[in-house]
Structure 1
Amino acid sequence: MDAQHRFSEPEREAVYRAIALRRDTRHFVPGQVLPEAQLLRLLQAFHQAPSVGLMQPWRLLRIRDAALRERLAALVEAERQTTAAVLGERGAEFLRLKVEGLRDCAELLALVLPPDDGTVFGRRTLPREMALCSAGCAVQNLWLAARAEHLGLGWVSMFEPQPLAELLRLPEGAQALGLLCLGPVERFYEAPMLEQQGWRQGRRLDEMLMDNFWKNESDGN
C-alpha cells in the first residue's frame, strides 16, 4: 500500500477517538462566528460522504437571516410542546431537556433531501431509503470533522416538515431532514446527553449483533 493510503498508528487512533468522543450537541457558546476557511473544510468533509449510485442526495441551506432563524426556532418549540404532550407522564421530564441550540450556535444549516433525480443504481428496490442513508452518511462526516475541529454539532429533527418546507421555500418533492446546529462549545459532554440526563441508556454492541439469522430480543431465540 502506498504512503498516501496508509494511516499511521496515531492517525488511526485519532479516527477512533473522534468517533468515540462525538456528541449530539445542544449547548453552544453564543455570539460566535466560524472562520470561513474552517467552515469550508467542514462542508468539504460533508460533501465527501459516500452515496448510493453517487447520487449525492443532500443540499445544505445556510441560515444567515436572524429573523428566519427565529421563525425556525419557533417551529422547533411548537414541536417540543407537542412531543411533551404525547409523552404523557414523561412530558414534564422531557421539557427539562435541552433539545436544540438554534439561537446560540455559530452556524445553522438546514439539511434538505432534494427532489429525486431518478438514480436507479443501487436503489431500485429501496429508492427513498438509500437516499436517506446517503444523507445520513454526509452528516456523520460533518459530525466527525466538527469534533476534530473542537466544535459541537447537533442534529435537530423536532419540526413539522410542511411548515418548515414553506419557510425555506423548498421545491415540490424536497424535504428538510434536519436543522444542524454547529459551533464552539464550552465543553463536550462526557457521555451522550440523554444518558447524562437519565432519559435513556445506550445498549451494548453485543445486544445488537446477531449471527446469520434474526434473534428475538425477548427470548434470545
Structure 2
Amino acid sequence: MTGFSPDLPPVFDAAFQERFEELLVWRRDVRRFRTEPLPEGLIGHLLSLADHAPSVGNSQPWRIVSVESDAARGRVLDNFKAENARALDSYADEQAEIYAKLKLAGLQEAPVHLAVFCEVEPQQGHGLGRATMPETLVYSVVGMIQTLWLAARAHGIGLGWVSILDPSRICEDLEVPANWTFVGYLCLGFPEEEHLDPELSRAGWQDRTTLEERLFHR
C-alpha cells in the first residue's frame, strides 16, 4: 500500500471522502460480464482486503470455495435454472412477464465464481459475542462479502450475488463440510456495461425508496 504506515492513524481527507461516496453510489449488483479473465493475482488481492472485514469475536467464519471446473460450474448452473423456473412459476401476470425478462445471473459469462459459506461453530473466537445471537457469524460473513464488493468495484471489477439457488444442493455439489452454511454465490468479472441506476429499476421491477421510509426514532 503506497504511503501506508501501521504506526500512524490514517487521515481521510475531503477528496477521499468524496471518492468513497462515489464508490458506494456506483456499486452495482452486476449480471452482465465480459468473459475475459481478470489480471493475475487480482482476486487473491481482493480477498486479502475482504479478509480485513470485522467478525464477531474475531472469528473470521467465512469459508470461500473458488469454483473453477466446468463440472462444478455446470452443477451450479443446473441448480440456478431449476430454482429460477420455480421462482418464475410463483409470480403471475405482469410480474411474471417482467421476471422472465430479467437477467438474474452471470454464471455463464463471469470468469470468477466464489461460493461463500459460514462455519457455524468455528473454534476461532472462542464463542465470544455470539452466545445470545449465533446468527452474528453469518452476519460477519455478509460483512466480508460487502467489503469484497467495494474492493472489487474500486478496482473496476463487477460482482453479482446469485441467490436463486438451493443451498443444500450447493453444499452437496461442492462437497463442503456438514458444519458449513451456504451464504452466497458470487460472480466476478469486468462489467459489460456501466449504469448508475440498478438494473431492477431500469427493468421496471422495483425502484429504490427513500431512507426516510425506513428510518425510525424512539
**Fold-level similarity (TM above 0.5):** yes
Match of 2:72 in 1: 68
Q: Secondary structure in 1 aligned to 2:159?
A: strand
Shift of 1:20: 0.9
Tell whether the 8 Å contact from 1:152 to 1:188 is kept in structure 2 after alignment: no
- Correspondence 1:21-170 to 2 at 5 A: 21-30=26-35, 32-89=36-93, 90-117=95-122, 119-127=126-134, 129-170=135-176
CA shift, 1:22, in A, is: 0.3
- Taking the aligned partners of 1:64 and 1:54, their CA distance within structure 2 comes to 29
1:134 aligned partner, one-letter code? S
Alignment RMSD, CA only?
A: 1.5
**C-alpha separation between the residues in 1 aligned to 2:91 and 2:118?**
28
- Find the residue that maps to 2:178 and give its secondary structure: coil
Q: Are 1:46 and 1:138, in contact at CA under 8 Å, matched by a contact in 2? A: yes
TM-score, L = length of structure 2: 0.91
Shift of 1:182: 0.2
Q: Secondary structure at the match of 1:44?
A: helix
Secondary structure (helix, strand or coil) at the match of 1:39 reads: helix
Alignment of 1:181-200 (within 5 A): 181-200=187-206
1:18 counterpart residue number: 23
CA distance in 2 between partners of 1:40 and 1:169 (Å)? 22
List runs of 5+ in structure 2 lacking aligned partners: 1-6
1:1-12 residue pairs with structure 2 within 5 A?
A: 4-12=9-17
Whether the 8 Å contact between 1:70 and 1:103 is mirrored in structure 2 is no
Conservation of the 8 A alpha-carbon contact between 1:80 and 1:95: no
TM-score after normalising by structure 1 = 0.89
